[in-house]
Amino acid sequence: MAKPHILVSEHLGERALALLGEAADVEAYDLLPEADFRRRLAEADAVIIRSAHSLRAEHLELAPRLKVAARAGAGVDNIDIEAATQRGILVINTPGANAVAAAEHTIGLLLAVMRRIVDADRHVREGQWDRQQFFGWELRGRRLGIIGIGRVGTQVAKRARGFDMDVYAYDPYVAPDTIRERGAKPVERLEDLLALADVLTLHTPKTGPRLGRAELERLPRGAVVVNAARGGLVDEDALADLLEAGHIRAAALDVFSQEPPRLDHPLFRLPRVVVTCHLGGSTVEAQWAIGERVARAVLAALEGQVPDGAVNLPVAAQDERVDDLVETGRVLGRLLAFSGAKGRTLRVEPSGAAAGVTELLSRAVLWGFLEAVGEESVNLVSAIAAARQRGMTAVAQTPVNGGEHRDREPGIRAWFDDDVAGAVEVTRREEIRLRRFWGARFDMGLSPYMLVTRHKDRPGIVGAIGRILGEAAINIATVELGRNAPGGEAVMLLGLDNPVPDAVVRAIQALDAISVVHSLNVGGEPAGVF
């Protein structure tokens, strides 16, 4: 099998390139010109960019082979995620790889502005030595208010405690107990955090709360503001006005709403302001970590796994069982299609350990169903869009146990519309096992090739089917029977070592007691993302 071709359009680092080169053909550049970038996308199975390049819809149209689009960094503003998802392209980023670097830079900015380090450095270089001009302020005992206590905010809280600061945090997406575990006292409302913060730091994406004049005026007189997160989170003109008025004592910014900022920026004319050029993640160690993490994620995706940092897949955190569960969901989708089930609303209900990835499993089941009914180009990323084109939707049902007992064996049940009786159910510990099909209950491991029949429950049927299969040199590996009542309708599942030709299916269908027979190619290879 040919190695995948990976295009690296910007500097990534020798360690990351060596890692990629172990499993792929790598075409790497320190900075590829835009015209060349567009041209070379045509041969790429995966592409890794940083900030200099974008992947818009027009770029993706130039990349018919592209399966993975990766951003070596946290932000993905330069990737059209909707267009990538429509085309079944997995988008990856590397959040948190530079968390320590960003946190250290935040503390560095805070120390620089509190102790007047930049002003004093300039003063000494100019041949002066007036120490009285540069009295600063200690961090000890001050109240630090953190907006956003994710990876970076948590690292800032940890370091601030080392300075004996009193740490508070506002984050509506993190439970109070978790905020406490991350080393801060939870504050439910942003306005309450602003009112108490002697020092305010921001650690949110661009979608985080924006601090305008009204919000900044809530800070105690003499507060200090540090923004090393995203430009535009703070109204820079309002910040300059409040600094000049003395309401805010000092400020430090690593990011700006416009980068680079204009030379006449209002903050540049003020004392007690420290600025840097978006250096939060700019350490050697952080760049190594980002490069290696994105390389491993890209290779994992190309090998059919669900990687850490998947942006357009509903995975909250990487779990060692995720790939197995995706495979289980995909197989369930195939079985549901083979059962003849149809409808507009696919309902997927997990149980046990599967309850933690319900949304992802809905995609996996939908994927398996669609490929079984002829959607050859569908994958885990594009399943929702492909279903929508068919007039279908997938609904993740609330787990039957309310999400409890997640240490139990993971199970998945799926059906269409309100036809619960027609549900197919599988479970998985070491292997996928079928538990329900055509209304009958089973406990059967799956084979790559299977035969399922619905027939009258009477003697001789199993033997007759076995004789037809034997004459065709098809070996039966396993067999299980299920029925609703003696003498009624029965369902038989046979696991086979060989595919079943159409002629054999027709011979079985011709038996007097058989009402329905299907040959199922469940597939023996791991599902994978693509």
N-term to C-term CA, the chain: 15
Q: Which two tokens stand for residue 272?
A: 């007690």
Q: Which of 5, 115, 278, 296 is catalytic?
A: 278
349 is known as an active-site residue: no
Look-up: residue for tokens 């988008």? Answer: 91
Cα separation, 362 vs 16, whole angstroms: 33
455 is known as an active-site residue: no
138 is known as an active-site residue: no
Beta strands in 311-369 (DSSP E): 345-351
Q: Where are the alpha helices (DSSP H) in 339-447?
A: 358-372, 383-389
Cα separation, 196 vs 200, whole angstroms: 9
Q: Could you give the strand order of the β-sheet that contains 248-253, starting from the edge strand earlier in sequence? A: 185-186, 166-170, 143-147, 199-202, 223-227, 248-253, 273-275
Rg of the chain over Cα atoms, rounded to whole angstroms, equals 30
The DSSP secondary-structure symbol of 197 reads -
Q: Which of 125, 140, 188, 259 is catalytic?
A: 259
Cα separation, 73 vs 401, whole angstroms: 38
Residue 320 host element (H or E): none
Cα separation, 414 vs 394, whole angstroms: 10
Q: Which of 59, 230, 413, 428 is catalytic?
A: 230
> Are the beta carbons of 364 and 336 closer than 8 angstroms?
no
The DSSP secondary-structure symbol of 9 reads -
**Mind telling me the catalytic residues?**
230, 259, 278
